[in-house]
Amino acid sequence: MRSELISANHAAAHAATLAARANRKGRGFCSGVYPITPSTECMELLCAQEIEKGQVVRVEGEHSAMAVCIGSVAGGARSFTATSSNGLAYMAENVVAAALLRLPMVMMVANRTLGPPWNIWADHGDSLLLRDSGWLQFYCADNQEVLDTILFAYRLGEDARVMLPVMVCQDGFVLSHTMAQTLIPAQEQVDRFLPPLSVSHRLADQPHALGSVILPQQTEVLRRRHHQAMGEALNIYPELQREFAEIFGRELPGPLVGYRDEDAELLILSMGTLAGTVERSVDRLRERGVKVGSLRIRLLRPFPARLLREKLARARRVAVLDRDISPGFGGVLWGECRTCAGAETLVQNYMLGLGGGDVRPEHIEQLVDDLRGRESAGEPMIMEVGV
């Protein structure tokens, strides 16, 4: 294992390369790639790697990039791609197809605002657009977590009890282009953690079809199995988490990451790098005597509802922070989380940092003051924090 000063984009590329080489005794690796800011550097580095029994295919657009990944895994090869924003929207049809065909692959999404008007800064609206597509979705907080989660995502998605694709999301520019010391494991360690990929329904010597026309009753059966596989991902998470720690010598965060939340009467829920700012704000607010804690949602799909209910059981007030907006409704994360709080808990939604606005500790303290002064929850609130 070695330590390097790298961006999260390069951390993702290193993880994908290690995973690709780990399948050299299987049916190899194949990736479809197309550039889009701020994920381009990830694919550029991947293209420069020498991968035994593998290749990276440069295509004419994101829709085709995902098509290459679908074909790769359908043939039994491990696959990876990366994209962002409108690129993810363009490949949406094939994103859904990959999930419904139960083809395990990993895609890194550098979260960026959807346009027009065009904005290249961080916003979770692109990946949340596809939260119901059937992919597992992780949201990372730092560069090390991006690398580790991609390796973990392969193991989790390729497990025979799951067999689903996994999206590993990172905030564009906030992580994608920020350098940090990152531990890169040795190939031997990754080989131990990632066995050769086995896709039981892959296309092989015996001809058969994938994605043929089916009847309503068959669709119901397949959707139920898909839903159950999502649940299995949550069930086996701790098992694979322990194995990850044994092999790599460090802990991988769970689906929910708490910070000073054990005795908190007020909890702040967030995703991605917002949680780092929230944690610093928690420290400052604790100095003022405010019993506040942070809870980071790391795994959005499958949604860890039971774990979240346990965490929210003691909180009297909850602020849900969204770096996204569902127009006419409010924040997506708020919509997911609010039903997990008790009937007596006040849950208020704050949308901030939309389009990459710079969220600072003082903004978190302002919303906490607002929340503490409320007698009841109001409509979802947009905080214009600017740049």
**Omega within 30 of 0 (cis) for the link into 185:** no
Instruction: List pLDDT tens digits, range 22-51.
Output: 999 999 999 999 999 999 999 999 999 999
Residue extent(s) of CATH 3.40.50.920 domains in the chain: 258-383
User: How large a percentage of the chain has pLDDT more than 70?
Assistant: 99
The reported pLDDT for the residue numbered 205 is 76
What's the token pair of residue 176? 């994608």
Question: What angle, 0 to 180 degrees and rounded to 10, lies between the N-to-C axes of helices 274-287 and 361-372?
Answer: 60
351 has a pLDDT exceeding 90: yes
- Among the CATH numbers 3.55.50.30, 3.30.465.10, 3.40.50.920, 3.40.50.720, which is that of 258-383? 3.40.50.920
Residue pLDDT, tens place only, 190-237: 999 999 999 999 998 778 888 889 999 999 999 999 999 999 999 999
Give domain 2-201+209-248's CATH architecture. 3-Layer(aba) Sandwich (3.40)
CATH 3.40.50.970 residue spans of the chain = 2-201+209-248
State the pLDDT at residue 260.
97
Q: Is 58 exposed, middle or buried (0-12, 13-18, 19+ CB in 10 A)?
A: middle
Kind plus residue range of the DSSP H or E element containing 244:
helix 216-248
Mean per-residue pLDDT of the chain: 96
- pTM, to two decimals: 0.97
CB neighbours of residue 60 within 10 Å: 8
For 118-166, the DSSP string reads: P--S--THHHHTTTTSS-EEEE-SSHHHHHHHHHHHHHHHHSTTT---E
Does residue 52 have a pLDDT over 60?
A: yes
Confidence of residue 386 (pLDDT cuts 50, 70, 90): low
- Tell me what pLDDT residue 346 has: 97
Q: How confident is the model at residue 387 (pLDDT cuts 50, 70, 90)?
A: low
Task: Report the relative pairing of strands 80-83 and 106-111 from DSSP bridges.
Answer: parallel
Give all strands (DSSP E) within 287-378, no chain letters. Answer: 292-297, 299-301, 317-322, 346-352
Confidence bin at 143 (pLDDT 50/70/90): very high
* Residue 328 pLDDT class (50, 70, 90 cuts): very high
3-state class (DSSP) for residue 363: helix
Provide the pLDDT for residue 380: 97
Residue with tokens 């800011």: 37
133 pLDDT higher than 60 = yes
Of 266, 269, 349, 348, the C-alpha closest to 314 is: 266
